[in-house]
Amino acid sequence: MTNWPYPRFIAHRGAGKLAPENTLAAFRHGASFGYRMFEFDVKLSADGKPILMHDATLDRTTTGKGRVDALTLGELAALDAGGWHSPAYAGEPVPTLAAIARYTQANGFMVNIEIKPVPGIEYRTGAAVALDALSLWKGAGTPPLLSSFSEVALEAAHQVAPDLPRALLLDTLPADWLERLRRLECVALDANHRELDAAVIGAAHSAGFKVLCYTVNDRVRAANLLSWGLDGLITDAVDQIAPQS
């Protein structure tokens, strides 16, 4: 991208651990600390609808049990996605991608959509999420940034929505990480922050890529990364790392 429109500070799953992750309540909580961009995870329901959920199963963050993709959107809507966190959030629903699109655009927020397929449906998830994102953010001032650990999902997103920017998520950096970014026609590397130093960030910039990282919750580490030219810092610590600093 010739013009990088995204802020450097990005709230992880809404507001990280301060509110139930991947819910509208978490987005509102992150926004209360001044965050203007949010990272969140999207996968498909049984009837192919994009919803916000990190895990492949429902057990950890909802009152449901078993696989996420075994329930329809209507069945997922009946679950409590907030009570596991604390009583104050009991009754918080599982949000749809459409609901998040409405909320973020109404408030002028930007988003990083992590395409997080249930294993076995990587291509279908990448294509479906990208197509819905293309439609839901049509005419928006800033497009959503799509990212994924799944190269298959990113390839699918590229095929159906080539104009939406993409970032490759990497937990460790393989020797050919630059070649992977080029092959997938990504605009950015999104790496585990432990894999980054000034040399890696400089190499990415020299090759024309932006660099984001996850999940930085220490202010000293954040300051070091930013001093090396990091373009996007994803954090849970929205109450500790001020987005304007």
User: What is the DSSP pairing of strand 50-52 with strand 37-44?
Assistant: antiparallel
For residue 127, give the 3-state DSSP assignment: helix
Least Cα distance to 84 among 30, 15, 14, 17 occurs for 17
Find the catalytic residue in 12, 29, 85, 158: 12
CA end-to-end span of the chain: 24
Rounded to whole angstroms, how far apart are CA atoms 25 and 18?
10
Least Cα distance to 137 among 121, 117, 113, 118 occurs for 113
Q: Determine whether 205 is an active site residue.
A: no
CA angle 40, 44, 46 (to 5 degrees): 150
Find the catalytic residue in 29, 54, 158, 205: 54
- Residue 177 CB partners (closer than 8 Å, separation 6+): 168, 170, 189
Burial class (CB within 10 angstroms; exposed 0-12, middle 13-18, buried 19+) of 227: exposed
Rounded to whole angstroms, how far apart are CA atoms 120 and 65?
19
Q: Determine whether 12 is an active site residue.
A: yes
Contact indicator for 53, 40 with CB cutoff of 8 Å: no
| Helices and strands in the chain: count of H runs, count of E runs | 8, 9
**Which residue numbers are catalytic?**
12, 54
